[in-house]
Amino acid sequence: MKSLHLTFLAALAAFSLAVSACGGEGDIPAGAVAMVGGTEIRKEELDVGREQAKGNYGAQFRSAGTPEYQNVQKQLVAGLVQGEWFEQEAEALGIEVTEKEVDAQLDEFIESRFDGKPADLEKALKEANYPMEALRDSFRSS
């Protein structure tokens, strides 16, 4: 397991260098916000993340054009890029996460954060405008 962890750390360092070496927006197709290994990160994915952020921030969510809004945008794009990159690297390394493993992580999460009450998790997700599938995806990539 330690070897796998070190592999991902090395890969993350390479990813950081690759991202910092990226040029301008000229190589990004219309309708996309980023490219990762030839895969487009679509604007619609960013829109979903923005809606989720609105749910998390509530009345504190800032208007478009403000520095706070731009910061959230950058964080969302970085998260989408990182998620896609992790998926591509996992596939290249032959790492596959099963639904059984995701279910186990979800059960552990519910037990530790919601006193074993799935209904409390569902309520929290609804309040945050965060779909269950997005949570499951985060477990797949962690």
Give the model confidence (pLDDT) of 33-82 as tens digits: 999 999 999 999 888 888 887 777 766 677 778 888 888 889 999 999 99
Cα 15 to Cα 4: distance, rounded to the nearest angstrom: 16
Residue 91 in tokens: 């596939």
Cα 15 to Cα 138: distance, rounded to the nearest angstrom: 19
Greatest mean pLDDT among 63-67, 69-73, 119-123, 138-142: 119-123
Calculate the average pLDDT of the chain: 81
The contacts of residue 117 (CB under 8 Å, 6+ apart) are 110
pTM for this prediction: 0.65
